[in-house]
Amino acid sequence: MISVTCVCGQVLRASDAFAGTKVTCPSCRNAVTIPFPPQSQDATDEHKTSTQPLVDLESTVADH
């Protein structure tokens, strides 16, 4: 479900199927574009770089 607020302050809710379409606000009759839902957290995590330090596995194995 996508929520969007019209310029008049009316909160509109629409199913994901309406993303990218224009609807009429029932309160002020203004045209409101339903935005696309934000990407899921899993999809955005794939593009992030790790902040954890790298470990040189070859030197760790050779030490043992």
Per residue in 1-26, pLDDT tens? 899 999 999 999 999 999 999 999 99
Q: Which domain holds residue 7?
A: 1-36
Structural contact between residues 24 and 30, judged by C-beta atoms closer than 8 angstroms: yes
* Counted domains in the chain: 1
As given in the structure block, the two tokens for residue 21 are 């379409």
- pLDDT for 40 equals 61
Residue 60 lies in a domain: no
Residue 63 lies in a domain: no
As given in the structure block, the two tokens for residue 38 are 């934000």
At 7 the three-state DSSP class reads coil
Q: What is the pLDDT of residues 36-60, one digit of tens each?
A: 987 765 544 544 554 544 444 544 3
Residue 41 lies in a domain: no
- pLDDT for 39 equals 74
At 6 the three-state DSSP class reads coil
Structural contact between residues 37 and 19, judged by C-beta atoms closer than 8 angstroms: yes
